[in-house]
């Protein structure tokens, strides 16, 4: 049976892999039926509740009916507010949008293009007196290898993505297609075999799913770093985050959960932003239908294990009450974010409206400070007990493998590390160097600290 989609079929970007042929029920309907369910009942309002004009009305999340123009403006308004009030994009930025081919990231592309066009326009009309326009590029992580997708399908999909992006002007947008196995940057070695072997060593189905997500983030980081992008924009929407809230809870990731439900995440080398944070998957799908935005559903990747169970559960909740996803999100947002969940004042003040400036001051007592130790694999911040364990390990025998395992969070321990501990050595040797290197350098510098008193300084010889 096909797994349910993580976001109501909207494919909220590379973090969410939705399946249009999902078993979740609601997603299997024909577009017309879906429209009917989203549109307000016939016989109710016949005009748009916002502009009193407009023909076919649609009901946005629990609100009044809107015409197409108002509906689009409503969603764009949410996107723009998220971007500006969190200082997601500076005029000097180059933004890398992760396009999955699904409705959510497709809408994100459309919206960021609209913002860029406007910036280009005002730059041109002001004779270069205004702020320069930010750059936009598009990344697509090709996971064909783990999905065993036929090569010609991938080819068609990639061509489609390129044609979608090239249709958006002004503003040249480069498209970067990166095979997932490229995160294993190695010379002669077979990257595909290495990817398959390491994924094969993970016994747990959910663990495999999560592991591939981690690789996907690494892949995006790699594309961004190699091509000079300063921000990564994901199409993760409210529905996708709601699913993540529940699945993270089930997986025992409560401590690090607040880090994943914010608008901004600067714990990665290239910061990640989620401008569709407040939009529902259904709204985004509807907009794609209304505006005939071309998508590429061939690329859909069903999620598995707990992730899939939670996705069907959330879609059930949505059928009962469409505002449930917002409720889950609001509840999770009461948790204290981490200090890396916003941009610091540095370099942002100049571009911010003065009313927003206090938000970006460094002193904020309402957030958790963190130890700066992140899980080697998933990037979760370490909890008190995980830190304690790491400290203890550091002071014991210096076996590399023990250090690696101590740098993995509890959840990765249970779900991603192989169950046979004697295979750890093999497992860690297969992981992308980008992950293990961090531990190597950290342990080298801590060893240096420990023996520092005994080291001879250069001029001691005389």
- By CB under 5 A, name the binding residues for Zn ion: 48, 50-51, 54, 67, 70, 375, 377-378, 380, 409, 412
Nearest to Zn ion of 55, 397 (CB atom): 55
Q: Minimal distance in Å, beta carbon 354 to Zn ion?
A: 33
Nearest to Zn ion of 26, 375 (CB atom): 375
Q: Minimal distance in Å, beta carbon 421 to Zn ion?
A: 17
Rounded distance between C-alpha atoms, residue 81 and residue 92, angstroms: 19
Q: Minimal distance in Å, beta carbon 409 to Zn ion?
A: 3
Q: Minimal distance in Å, beta carbon 253 to Zn ion?
A: 8
Cβ atoms of 241 and 279 within 8 Å: the answer is no
Rounded distance between C-alpha atoms, residue 124 and residue 2, angstroms: 50
Q: Give the residue carrying structure tokens 């003040």.
A: 349
Q: Minimal distance in Å, beta carbon 198 to Zn ion?
A: 15
Query: In the structure encoding, which two tokens stand for residue 27, read together?
Result: 């997603």
**Integer CA distances (angstroms), 381 to 111, 391, 407, 409, 444, in order:** 31, 15, 10, 8, 21
Q: Minimal distance in Å, beta carbon 122 to Zn ion?
A: 26
Nearest to Zn ion of 400, 413 (CB atom): 413
Rounded distance between C-alpha atoms, residue 165 and residue 99, angstroms: 10
Q: Minimal distance in Å, beta carbon 232 to Zn ion?
A: 19
Nearest to Zn ion of 246, 378 (CB atom): 378
Q: Minimal distance in Å, beta carbon 410 to Zn ion?
A: 8
Nearest to Zn ion of 203, 364 (CB atom): 203
Nearest to Zn ion of 51, 447 (CB atom): 51
Q: Minimal distance in Å, beta carbon 73 to Zn ion?
A: 8
Q: Minimal distance in Å, beta carbon 404 to Zn ion?
A: 12
Cβ atoms of 95 and 150 within 8 Å: the answer is no
Nearest to Zn ion of 54, 240 (CB atom): 54
Closest CA to 100 of 30, 26, 19: 19
Cβ atoms of 130 and 123 within 8 Å: the answer is yes
Nearest to Zn ion of 70, 99 (CB atom): 70
Rounded distance between C-alpha atoms, residue 233 and residue 62, angstroms: 27
Nearest to Zn ion of 343, 382 (CB atom): 382
Nearest to Zn ion of 96, 378 (CB atom): 378
């Amino acid at each position: 049976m096909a797994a349910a989609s993580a976001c109501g079929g909207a494919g909220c970007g590379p973090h969410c892999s939705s399946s249009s042929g999902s078993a979740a029920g609601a997603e299997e309907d024909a577009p017309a039926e879906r429209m009917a369910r989203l549109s307000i009942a016939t016989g109710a309002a016949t005009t748009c509740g916002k502009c009193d004009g407009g023909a076919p009305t649609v009901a946005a999340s629990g609100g009044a009916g809107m015409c197409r123009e108002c509906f689009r403006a409503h969603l764009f308004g949410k996107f723009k507010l998220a971007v500006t009030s969190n200082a997601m994009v500076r005029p000097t930025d180059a933004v890398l949008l992760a396009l999955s081919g699904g409705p959510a990231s497709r809408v994100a592309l459309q919206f960021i293009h609209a913002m860029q066009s406007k910036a280009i326009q005002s730059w041109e009309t002001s004779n270069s007196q205004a702020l320069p326009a930010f750059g936009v590029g598009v990344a697509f992580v090709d996971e064909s290898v783990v999905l065993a997708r036929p090569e010609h399908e991938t080819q068609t999909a990639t061509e489609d993505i390129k044609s979608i992006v090239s249709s958006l002007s002004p503003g040249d947008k480069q498209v970067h297609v990166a095979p997932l196995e490229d995160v294993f940057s190695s010379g002669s070695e077979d990257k595909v075999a290495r990817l398959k072997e390491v994924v094969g060593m993970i016994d747990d189905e959910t663990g495999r799913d999560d592991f591939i997500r981690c690789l996907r983030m690494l892949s995006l980081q790699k594309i961004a770093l190699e091509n000079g992008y300063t921000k990564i924009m994901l199409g993760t929407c409210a529905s996708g985050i709601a699913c993540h809230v529940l699945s993270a809870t089930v997986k025992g990731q409560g401590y690090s959960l607040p880090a994943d439900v914010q608008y901004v995440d600067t714990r990665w080398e290239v910061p990640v932003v989620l401008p569709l944070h407040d939009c529902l998957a259904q709204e985004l799908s509807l907009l794609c239908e209304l505006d005939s935005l071309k998508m590429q559903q061939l690329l859909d990747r069903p999620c598995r294990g707990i992730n899939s169970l939670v996705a069907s559960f959330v879609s059930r909740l949505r059928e009962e009450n469409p505002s449930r996803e917002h409720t889950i999100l609001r509840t999770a947002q009461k948790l204290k974010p981490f200090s890396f969940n916003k941009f610091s004042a540095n370099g942002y003040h100049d571009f911010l409206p003065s009313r927003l400036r206090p938000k970006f001051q460094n002193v904020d007592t309402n957030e958790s400070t963190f130890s700066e130790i992140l899980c080697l694999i998933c990037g979760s911040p370490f909890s008190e007990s995980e830190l304690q364990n790491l400290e203890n390990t550091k002071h014991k025998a210096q076996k590399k493998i023990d250090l690696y395992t101590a740098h993995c969070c509890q959840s990765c321990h249970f779900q991603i590390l192989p169950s046979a501990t004697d295979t750890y050595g093999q497992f860690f040797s297969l992981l992308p160097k980008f992950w293990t290197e961090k531990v190597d350098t950290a342990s080298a510098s801590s060893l240096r600290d420990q023996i520092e008193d005994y080291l001879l300084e250069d001029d001691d010889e005389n």
